[in-house]
Structure 1
Amino acid sequence: MTVDQAPAGPPPGAPTPPAERPAAPPALRFLGGASGPVFVLLILIFAGIFTLNPSFAEPPSMMFFLRQAAPLIVLAIGQYLVIVSGEFDLSVGALVGAQVVIAAALIDGEEARTLPVLGVMLVFGLMVGLVNGLITTLLKVPSIITTLGTMLVLSGAIQLWTGGAPTGALSESFRVAGRFGIEDVPVLGQLPWALLILVAVALAALVLMRSSYGRTLVSVGDNETAAAFAGARVWLVRTGAFVLSALLATLAGVLIGGYAGVTAQVGDGLEFAAITAVVLGGVVLGGGRGTVVAAMAGALAVEGLFTLFNQLSLPSTIRPSVQGLIIIAAVAYAARQGSLPWQRTRPRAPRTVQPTRR
C-alpha cells in the first residue's frame, strides 16, 4: 500500500474521540434559557386557573382577562427598556396615578376637553421621563434614588392638590380605550381596544429592540464603558429609555383610568408589579440581558398569578409578599452573576507584589 493509498483516520493506538452530543431541539434550548421558565410558569398558572374555573378558558373570559392585564404589560415594556439599560424606574406607579387624577380634574366630564387633556398628559409624561433621565445620566444620581424621589414628589403633590379625594370625572370618550372594544366579534364576543393597543405597542417594542437603538440600549446595559468606546452616547440612550418608560406609563394611565375610574390609589404598587414582571421574565437586573417578549410574558404571568390567588380565595395582602420574594430572588441571582451595576463599576484594588528575598 502506497502512501497515497493510506486509510484516513487516527493512527493505531490513538484515543478514540468522544462522540458528539446531538443538538437539543430548539424548544428545549429555548426553555433552558433565562427566559424559558416564565413560559413554563405561564402554562402551570393557566392550567391551575382552568382547573379551578373551566369557564375561564372561554374566549369572552380570556378577552376580559387580557383587557385587564394590558396596562401592566404596557408598564412592563417600559420598565424593560429601563432595566435592560442598567437602570430602574420606580416612578411609573405614581405617574399613572398622577395622570389619571390630572385627567379627571381637567376634563371634569366635558367631552370637548378630552383631546387637549390627552396632549397635556403626553407632555407631562415626557417631562417626567426627561427629568428622570437627565438627573440619572448627567448628574450621576443613581436611578433608584432619582425615581424614588420622583415617586414621592408626584404622590405628595397629588395628595396636596386633591386632599386625598380626587375631584372631577373622566369623559366617555376618554374611557373608550380602557373599557370598550369592537362588539359582536365571532367567537370572541368583544375585542377590547386595550388589547389592540397592547398589540400595537408590543410590535413597536419588537421593532425598536431590533433597531440600532435597541441594540445599543442592550450593549449600554451590558457594558457602558465598552459601548461608549464604540461610539454610543450613553447618556442619550438611557435618557431615551426613561422617556419611553414615562410615555408608556401615561398610556397605561389612560387604560387604567378608562377601566377602573378615578381613585386616590389607582397607581399604588404598579411600579413593583412591573419590576416583578420584568425579572420574572428572566431580564437580569443590572442590564444587558433579556428580551421584551419575556418581559411581556412575565407581566402576563403576574396577572395570571393574581387571578389564581383570587380563584383560591387567598387574601389580596399576599400579593406584595409574592412580589417581594420574586424581586429578592432576582437580585440574589444577579448578585451571584456579578451583573449588578455597582459590582460592574467597582474598581479592583491594585495587587501588591512582595519583594523576593535572595
Structure 2
Amino acid sequence: MRRNLPIFGVLTVLLVAIAVANPYFLEPQGFLAFVKRAAPLAILAAGQYFVIVSGEFDLSVGSLVTAEVVIAARLVDGDPGATWPVIALLLAFGALVGAVNGLVTTLLRVPSFIVTLGMLLILSGAVSLWTDGSPRGALSEQFRQFGRGSLGPVPWSALVLGAVVAFVVWLMRADFGRTLVATGDNQTAAALSGVRIHRVKTIAFVLSGLSAAICAILLGGFAGVSAQVGQGLEFQAITAVVLGGVVLGGGRGSVVAAIAGAFTLQALFTLLNLHGISGALEFTVQGLILIVAVALGTLQIPWHPRRRTTPALAS
C-alpha cells in the first residue's frame, strides 16, 4: 500500500492545481465532467494492467477501440432497437481479439509485443479498408447515452467506471489475482506450483479486450464516430499503468494505482490545456513520464538473478 502513495499524492497535487486554475472544477458538476473524460482511459488502463502484471504487453487496444466504434456506427445506423445487440457484439468481439492475442502469445510462443503490434496493424488496415477513411452509419441516442448521458447528476460513464473498479478489485483479491501476479513475478515457479500459465495469461488478454470494448462504447457516446477515435490510446494506457507503479515485466503493482495513474494522466492533460499549452505536446509528456517512471521503478527493485526486471517479450 505504501508503494502506491506517490501516485495518489501526485494526483492530489494536480487536482488542486486544476481547481486553482479553474474554480468551477470544485463544483460537483465540474468534477464529474472530469471523471466522465477520464473514465474511458481508466477502464482501458485497468485492462492493460492485467496484461502487464502478467509479464506481457497489449499494443492492440487503441486500434481495437477504433474498430469497435466504426463497427457500432455501421451496424446500429441510428436504429435504437439495434443498440443492445450491437453492444453485446462489441463485447464479444473485444473478448475474441483478446483471446486470439493470448492464445498466439502462449501457445505459439510469439512475443506479445509482436502479436499485439500485428493485431494493431490488422485492425487498423481493416478499418481503413472498410471505411475508406470516412466511417459510415450513426450511433443511436440510446447508445450514446453511456458516454455522454447521466443518471440524475452522475454521468453513466462514472457509474460504469465504478462497476469496473469494483469488479477488478474483487478479481485481484480472488485466487485469479494471486495466480496472475505469481505468473508475472516468476513464471517457472508458478508453473511448478500448478498454475496453468497459458490459461491465466489468455484470460488477462481477454480482460484487456473487454476493457477496450467498454472504452469504445463510452468514447462512441462522448466523442462520436471517427476513424481516429482510438489513436494513441494504447500508449496512454501503458503510460497510466506504469505511472501507477506497475512494473514492466510483471509481478508487481496495484490495479487501483494503475487506474489512479490514468486519472493522473488525464489531470495533467487538463492542466496543460487550462494553461494554453498545445495538445501536440501530449505525446512528449507521455514519453517523458514513461521513461522516468520505468527508470524509478527499476531502481526501487533489488536485482536478483532469477527475477526479471526488464519487460518480458515472450511467455
TM-score scaled by structure 2? 0.94
Task: Describe the superposition over 1:117-170 as per-residue Cα deviations: whole angstroms up to 9, x where unpaired.
Answer: 122212211210011000111111111111111011101110011011000000
The answer to whether residue 137 in structure 2 is matched with residue 168 in structure 1 is yes
SS of 1:109's partner is coil
Aligned counterparts of 2:161 and 2:82: Cα–Cα separation in 1: 25
Aligned counterparts of 2:211 and 2:16: Cα–Cα separation in 1: 31
1:238 to 201, 207, 215: 201
1:280 maps to a residue whose letter is L
SS of 2:248's partner is coil
Q: In the alignment, which residue of structure 2 is the partner of 1:224?
A: 187
SS of 1:174's partner is helix
1:340 to 300, 310, 315: 310
Residue 229 of structure 1 and its aligned partner are, at CA, apart by 0.3
Aligned counterparts of 1:344 and 1:98: Cα–Cα separation in 2: 26
Aligned in 2, Cα 1:263/1:279: closer, same or farther, shift over 3 Å?
Answer: same
SS of 1:208's partner is helix
Residue 344 of structure 1 and its aligned partner are, at CA, apart by 11
Q: In the alignment, which residue of structure 2 is the partner of 1:78?
A: 47
Residue 342 of structure 1 and its aligned partner are, at CA, apart by 5.0
Residue 43 of structure 1 and its aligned partner are, at CA, apart by 1.3
Task: Describe the superposition over 1:14-39 as per-residue Cα deviations: whole angstroms up to 9, x where unpaired.
Answer: xxxxxxxxxxxxxxxx5xx4322111
Aligned counterparts of 1:279 and 1:324: Cα–Cα separation in 2: 11
> Which shows bigger deviation, 292-301 or 325-334?
325-334
Residue 326 of structure 1 and its aligned partner are, at CA, apart by 1.6
Aligned counterparts of 2:148 and 2:243: Cα–Cα separation in 1: 28
Q: Identify the structure with bigger relative contact order (alpha carbons < 8 Å, sequence gap 6+).
A: 2
Q: In the alignment, which residue of structure 1 is the partner of 2:29?
A: 60
Larger CA Rg, structure 1 vs 2: 1
Asked if 2 retains the 8 angstrom alpha-carbon contact of 1:286 and 1:334, the reply is no
SS of 1:322's partner is helix
Q: In the alignment, which residue of structure 2 is the partner of 1:107?
A: 76
Aligned counterparts of 2:219 and 2:276: Cα–Cα separation in 1: 24
Q: In the alignment, which residue of structure 1 is the partner of 2:219?
A: 256
Residue 236 of structure 1 and its aligned partner are, at CA, apart by 0.5
SS of 1:116's partner is helix
2:24 maps to a residue whose letter is S
Aligned counterparts of 1:343 and 1:120: Cα–Cα separation in 2: 31
1:37 maps to a residue whose letter is P
Asked if 2 retains the 8 angstrom alpha-carbon contact of 1:92 and 1:271, the reply is yes
Residue 330 of structure 1 and its aligned partner are, at CA, apart by 3.4
Q: In the alignment, which residue of structure 2 is the partner of 1:138?
A: 107
Q: In the alignment, which residue of structure 1 is the partner of 2:97?
A: 128
Q: In the alignment, which residue of structure 1 is the partner of 2:305?
A: none
Higher share of residues assigned helix: 2
SS of 1:175's partner is helix
Q: In the alignment, which residue of structure 2 is the partner of 1:154?
A: 123
Aligned counterparts of 1:340 and 1:248: Cα–Cα separation in 2: 25
SS of 1:34's partner is helix
Aligned counterparts of 2:37 and 2:311: Cα–Cα separation in 1: 34
Aligned counterparts of 2:246 and 2:312: Cα–Cα separation in 1: 17
1:290 to 253, 275, 278: 253
Which residues of structure 2 form unaligned runs of 5+?
A: 302-307
Asked if 1 retains the 8 angstrom alpha-carbon contact of 2:109 and 2:314, the reply is no
2:19 maps to a residue whose letter is F
Aligned in 2, Cα 1:342/1:154: closer, same or farther, shift over 3 Å?
Answer: closer
TM-score scaled by structure 1? 0.83
Q: In the alignment, which residue of structure 2 is the partner of 1:26?
A: none
2:30 maps to a residue whose letter is S
1:256 maps to a residue whose letter is L
Q: In the alignment, which residue of structure 2 is the partner of 1:270?
A: 233
Which residues of structure 1 form unaligned runs of 5+?
A: 1-29, 184-189, 346-358
Taking every aligned residue pair, what percent have the same amino acid on both sides?
Answer: 55
SS of 2:141's partner is coil
> Which shows bigger deviation, 328-337 or 238-247?
328-337
